[in-house]
Amino acid sequence: MNDKERKIVIVGAGISGLTAAAYLSRKGCNVLLIEKNDKCGGLLNSFKRQGFVFDVGARSIENSGVIRPMLRNLGIELELFESPVSIGIEDKIINILSGEQLSDYKELLEYLYPDSKKDIDKIIRFIERILKDMKVLYGIDNPFFLNLKNNRLFLIKELLPWFLRFVFVIRRINRMQEPVESFLEKMSSNASLIDIISQHFFKNTPVFFALGYFYVYIDYLYPKGGTGQLPKAIEQKIVEWGGKILTETEITKVVPSEKELYDANGDVYSYDNLIWSADLKTLYNILETANLNSNNVPKILEQKEEFQSKRGGDSVFSVMIGVDEPPEKFKSISNGHFFYTPSKKGLGETHRSRLKSLIENFERIPKEEVLEWVDDYCRLTTYEISIPALRDPSLAPKGKTGLIVSFLFEYDLIKKVEEAGWYEEFKKEVENRILKTLDNSIYPRIEEKILFRFSSTPLTISKMAGTSEGGIVGWSYETSVPVVNNLRKMPDSIKTPIPDALQTGQWVYSPAGIPTAVLTGWLAARSIMENSHSGS
């Protein structure tokens, strides 16, 4: 079967599905990309409201040696700005422009916790070690996207020496899978210090992934026009190369024995190869195993049970705000990507035992007590504040600024609130407390300058992107992940027990992110192209 005869259907037009579709379309394959929403991009998207552009999902895009070379390889010209990060605790703020600012971070922590200087020194020295490994890991363009046949000098002088270092780094990474919280507890008994570092990350994030973020902070990019310009640019290439994209189409049944998909309207799509780039729980819930080879069914059912027993990772609550203040006012405070913690106290048990008790006893707890917890959480948590106009001034009306203020938030709590019938009220109450916290700390009198505001919750993300528990980076780290979590084994992450079906995206590899989603999309495309060449 040649490339044009082979029907390839890709379900899910997030960044991994788009990547797979782009490479297969460029090869001349018969590609159909199906997306349930009205536009591509999934959680990597942007939208406009009253002249302000707001980003959905990622506030910046981590390059990781993947994004720039992938765009060059596909012939995509997309203007990308550097997106430096600021970190603030109480009234102290530092700007992260290079790895040298790690010393500024150390000084910040020592200022806040003068009795823990020895502990801080140990932690910073460990981060320095990780930064060296991160430079090896991501300090070179990923060879997947390079034409090595025409660049033998690069292959010999740079790639081969890098690969040897890369192998040793991978070995060290695989030994640093301990949750960052417990790792820090071995280095310090100061609970506030541990919290102030670890609450930047998802619960139980592997220590290498968490403490390696100091490298990620200097590796962020921001596309001109907003993060949604990246999927838009890839989508245009797919269409240019003859690929077909079908939006507002939700797949509700997968019949692998017939190699058919059904959508909500009953329309049928046949395929020779399927790439599933959406939520994996959904795939196994709508998968029909009748008439399949008896060898496949037990493996499929085992995989389904494994996925159903796991949860999506942390989700976020975000409030989008239009402010009647010029960008310069905010530039005087921080960069356009800002991690801010109003109190050096740290969350403590607010997001552990107290939250767990709140969820387990929700039906018996008065509304006022729930909101008291929200009060404490908003005062103590770490905010991720994105200011698009500080990266691209065209993203807000002249003299005004848009803010996206987010923090990690528990899906189970917001689900309980919805079931209790006060979801919209709760959203407003959380918005009020976020704004009050910012008004009393980093942005005095901001409440007086607000033109409009609206919010999204973990339920919004779950419904919009179809992700389990509103997870934004795949599986929760609080239990063992049910997918590949070893870089050397990433090529195996795309495999499924379903005949002629591959999987890609945030749910197939952990820890997940935009670069790994791109890589899994590329790996799936390569697998199909190689099988096509072999005549299978």
Mean pLDDT value across residues 183-189: 97
Residues of the chain with pLDDT > 70, as a percent, come to 99
Please name which of 289, 268, 137, 122 lies closest in space to residue 215, comparing C-alpha atoms.
137
pLDDT at 162: 86
Name 338's bridge partners.
86, 385
pLDDT at 536: 40
Backbone angles phi, psi at 58, to 5 degrees: -60, 135
Residues of the chain with pLDDT > 90, as a percent, come to 85
Per-position b or e across 89-113, b if 16+ CB within 10 A of its CB: bbeebbebeebebbebbbebbeebb
pLDDT in tens, 16-31: 999 999 999 999 999 9
pLDDT in tens, 193-216: 999 999 999 999 999 999 999 899
- Residue 243 CB neighbours (<10 A): 22
327 or 98, higher pLDDT: 327
Sign of CA dihedral 149, 150, 155, 156: positive
- pLDDT band of residue 100 (cuts 50, 70, 90) is confident
pLDDT at 45: 96
pLDDT at 533: 56
- pLDDT band of residue 1 (cuts 50, 70, 90) is low
State how far the Cα of 417 lies from the Cα of 414, in Å rounded to an integer. 5
pLDDT at 3: 65
Rg for the chain, CA atoms, rounded: 23
Backbone angles phi, psi at 99, to 5 degrees: -60, -20
Pairing of strands 383-386, 315-323: unpaired
CB of 239 closer than 8 Å to CB of 100:
no
Least confident range from 17-21, 361-365, 428-432, 462-466: namely 462-466
Q: In sequence order, which residues have a C-beta less than 8 Å from that of residue 203 and are 6 or more positions away? A: 179, 181, 314, 351, 476, 477, 478
Name 287's bridge partners.
254
Structure tokens at 377: 């959480």
pLDDT for residue 309 is more than 80: yes
Query: What fold characterizes domain 314-468?
Result: Polyamine Oxidase; Chain A, domain 2 (3.90.660)
Q: Which long-range contacts (CB under 8 A, 24 or more apart) does 72-77 make?
A: 72/145, 73/145, 73/146, 73/147, 74/22, 74/23, 74/26, 74/234, 74/237, 75/237, 76/233, 76/234, 76/237
pLDDT at 362: 97
pLDDT at 98: 85
Give Cα separations from 348 to 196, 200, 476, 508 (angstroms).
10, 13, 20, 32
pLDDT at 156: 78
- Residue 412 CB neighbours (<10 A): 18
Query: What is the distance of C-alpha 95 from the center of its chain?
Result: 23
pLDDT in tens, 271-307: 999 999 999 999 999 999 999 988 889 999 999 999 9
State how far the Cα of 110 lies from the Cα of 119, in Å rounded to an integer. 10
Q: What is the DSSP string of 369-390?
A: HHHHHHHHHHHHSPEEEE-GGG
Q: Taking all residues of the chain, what is their mean pLDDT, rounded to a whole number? A: 94
pLDDT for residue 477 is more than 70: yes
Half-sphere exposure of 254 (CA within 13 A, CB side): 25
CATH class held by domain 7-44+227-310+478-533: alpha beta
pLDDT for residue 2 is more than 80: no
- pLDDT band of residue 466 (cuts 50, 70, 90) is confident
pLDDT at 138: 87
- pLDDT band of residue 266 (cuts 50, 70, 90) is very high
Please name which of 143, 135, 138 lies closest in space to residue 65, comparing C-alpha atoms.
138
Please name which of 126, 131, 142, 132 lies closest in space to residue 165, comparing C-alpha atoms.
132
pLDDT in tens, 24-65: 999 999 999 999 999 999 999 999 999 999 999 899 999 999
pLDDT for residue 224 is more than 50: yes
Structure tokens at 456: 């999204």
CB of 276 closer than 8 Å to CB of 502:
yes
246 or 292, higher pLDDT: 246
H helix runs in 381-513, sequence order:
411-420, 423-439, 458-465
Structure tokens at 250: 């939700």
Which helix (H) or strand (E) element contains residue 442? none
pLDDT for residue 534 is more than 70: no
pLDDT in tens, 122-165: 999 999 999 999 999 888 899 889 877 777 777 878 888 888 88
pLDDT at 146: 83
State how far the Cα of 116 lies from the Cα of 197, in Å rounded to an integer. 13
- pLDDT band of residue 258 (cuts 50, 70, 90) is very high
Start-to-end C-alpha separation, the chain: 7
Domain boundaries in the chain? Answer: 7-44+227-310+478-533, 100-210, 314-468
State how far the Cα of 61 lies from the Cα of 227, in Å rounded to an integer. 7
294 or 404, higher pLDDT: 404
State how far the Cα of 475 lies from the Cα of 468, in Å rounded to an integer. 9
Give Cα separations from 177 to 119, 171, 173 (angstroms).
21, 11, 7
Residue whose tokens read 């959480």:
377
Torsion of CA 231, 232, 234, 239, to 10 degrees: 140
CB of 498 closer than 8 Å to CB of 287:
yes
